[in-house]
Structure 1
Amino acid sequence: MRTFKYKDYDITVHTEPKYNPNSMDNLPYDKVIPIEVPFDDFNTCFSLNIEKDGESTSVLIIAPHYISVESCVLPHEKGLFMLLDNFVCLFDVEAMEIVKKVDLEPYGTTERPYIYGEDYIIHGEMNIYRVSKNLEIKWQYSGRDIWERYHGPEPAFEMKKDRICLYDFMDNYYELDYDGNLLFEKENPYQVNPYIGKEANNEQKRPDDSKKLREYRNGTRNPLRLLSRFFKGRNSRNL
């Protein structure tokens, strides 16, 4: 459970069971808001219990499956900011409805939003975003691989006073300023593919293809294109 204060409203966020409009077993809610998801088991539900002057209203949000209820909601000057997988949403507490929704169109999923001044920094699986309070995407950045660590003590994502420190899955290191500019980059020359070569316990030397991959780092990187090139090469070798 998480709690927020907005003007005279007290808001609590609770994880809820699945909701099916055709079921008699649903818990009662004053309002139900689906976020472009089917009414099936592949979604995540949470409620907003909104209290003012002794009166309580419950609003159920039916969100995409890949969200964390514990971290997807943050305060906003007009109510609540929500990161619901690929959507960023603005929930108006007084109107008790979502008044704006923007699709980030990320590659992969999104992990968690963070407050930075009046804006929000979003840690995605393959993209880092800065989003304004009006839900405008100010910039986005992607690296060579997903923003998760295979090994190492440092976190894959860390916000510091003047920069964002990042590691990708192949242990390449990046530093961005809060305007989305690359300040520093250190490529790991010995990148271990965790899916092959474990028995030999050898590090596999990575070819210097960073020049090619650099074309995809400004937010237009397309993993599907990289995969198509990979399979095209495999097919040509098998002829």
Structure 2
Amino acid sequence: MIFHHPQYEIEVINDENYVLNSKDNLNHYQHILHDPADVYQPSAKHGIRVKENGVETSSVIICASGGATGIFENSYLIKNGVIFICCTDHVYALQIPSLDLIWKNNLDWATCFCIYEFGDDLIVHGELVISRVTTDGIIKWQFSGRDIFVTPNNKTVPFKIVGNEIILTDWQDYQYRLNAEGQQLG
């Protein structure tokens, strides 16, 4: 996906064929974000490139193990010169244009699917946990339900924000309504 940010073109891709420590990768990056203590093969590999006037100024690949994630419309968010991106069970915040890591935070026990603006904060839709965090990565609240926040059919949307409310549906089709403070409503 390509996003235009004032003077930059930002490309975010799922680089599933990238292999750590290989010289034969199709795509090369200036920086690699990978925890050396992670002994498992990465289940998600997300590449980010920043270009200015058509020239690449920075690039990074995030390699992490955990619940597999992909790149789609709401798996990343650009706000105030920072790209926030879900990768496995973490959210990463990277400075634009350098793509230097500002913070990363584990926000789910399994997988972080999507990230949304919510007032001055962020809401992260995880498989098991819904989190409200500041743009500095500080957790304001987290909410878990009876089951995963995924539905087995396409008839029910598992996550949506309506005004100041967050409406959730879990695998068992149980619905939750949360206020902006993460408290369950009626």
Query: TM bucket by the smaller chain?
Result: 0.7 to 0.9
Secondary structure of 2:185 counterpart = strand
For residues 27 and 58 of structure 1, what CA distance do their matches in structure 2 show? 17
For residues 152 and 93 of structure 1, what CA distance do their matches in structure 2 show? 35
- Name the structure 1 match of 2:109: 107
Name the structure where strand makes up a greater proportion of residues: 2
Cα distance change on mapping 1:153 and 1:28 into 2, 3 Å: closer
Which is worse superposed, 93-102 or 40-49? 40-49
1:90 positional shift: 1.2
- Name the structure 2 match of 1:49: 49
1:54 positional shift: 4.5
Choose between structure 1 and 2 for higher RCO, CA contacts under 8 A separated by at least 6 residues.
2
1:151 positional shift: 5.2
Q: Is the 8 A contact 2:2 2:9 kept in 1?
A: no
Gaps of 5+ in 2: none
For residues 60 and 103 of structure 1, what CA distance do their matches in structure 2 show? 19
Q: Is the 8 A contact 2:30 2:59 kept in 1?
A: yes
Matches within 5 A, 1:84-123: 84-104=87-107, 106-123=108-125
What TM-score results when the alignment is normalised by the length of structure 2? 0.83
> Match for 2:160: what amino acid?
E
1:95 positional shift: 2.9
For residues 61 and 67 of structure 1, what CA distance do their matches in structure 2 show? 14
Matches within 5 A, 1:53-68: 53-64=53-64, 66-68=68-70
- Name the structure 1 match of 2:80: 77
Greater Rg by CA:
1
Name the structure where helix makes up a greater proportion of residues: 1
Deviations 1:170-216 (A, max 9, x none): 222211111101112xxxxxxxxxxxxxxxxxxxxxxxxxxxxxxxx
1:112 positional shift: 1.2
For residues 57 and 172 of structure 1, what CA distance do their matches in structure 2 show? 47
Cα root mean square deviation, aligned: 2.5
Matched length: 182
Identity of aligned residues (%): 27
Cα distance change on mapping 1:32 and 1:160 into 2, 3 Å: same
For residues 25 and 39 of structure 2, what CA distance do their matches in structure 1 show? 12
For residues 16 and 154 of structure 2, what CA distance do their matches in structure 1 show? 36
Q: Is the 8 A contact 1:18 1:41 kept in 2?
A: no
Q: Is the 8 A contact 2:58 2:99 kept in 1?
A: no
1:53 positional shift: 4.0
Q: Is the 8 A contact 1:121 1:130 kept in 2?
A: yes
For residues 115 and 132 of structure 1, what CA distance do their matches in structure 2 show? 10
For residues 138 and 169 of structure 1, what CA distance do their matches in structure 2 show? 25
1:152 positional shift: 7.8
- Name the structure 2 match of 1:156: 158
Gaps of 5+ in 1: 185-239
Q: Is the 8 A contact 2:46 2:71 kept in 1?
A: yes
For residues 25 and 151 of structure 1, what CA distance do their matches in structure 2 show? 40
For residues 43 and 155 of structure 2, what CA distance do their matches in structure 1 show? 33
For residues 35 and 144 of structure 2, what CA distance do their matches in structure 1 show? 26
1:130 positional shift: 0.7
Matches within 5 A, 1:8-19: 8-19=7-18
- Counterpart check, 1:178 vs 2:180: yes
